[in-house]
Amino acid sequence: MHALRKRLSRKLREIGVEEQAWPGRDDGFASLMYGGKEFAHFHSECELDIRLGKDVIKRERLSRLPDSTVHPDRSASSPWHEMRILADADVDEAVRLVRMAVERIGSGK
């Protein structure tokens, strides 16, 4: 597992997020669960897709990956945000966004 992915996974466990690898896959794909609900998943060792909601994506001014290989045709109004984890700052940003997603789950949104 990539060092940044390990660091991110450890930080996510600290806030109660469970990571579930998919059987038979060795490409890094894994679901992220909170309270029994999937709200995000890793596409690979360094790509994370998080269901934040359209309002959060707009408020946070998050932009879609222009060179996405997994979701190249994703609608601009999608509630999902895809990001890459390539540096320590990306790990911190992913944790921040996951916390927002977890708060939404906790509030029933």
Question: What predicted TM-score, i.e. pTM, was given to this entire model?
Answer: 0.87
- Topology annotation, domain 3-69+76-107: Aspartate Aminotransferase, domain 1 (3.90.1150)
Q: Considering only CA atoms, which of 27, 61, 56, 24 is closest in space to residue 39?
A: 56
Domain boundaries, the chain: 3-69+76-107
pLDDT tens readout for residues 8-41: 999 999 999 999 887 877 777 899 999 999 999 9
Mean pLDDT of the chain: 89
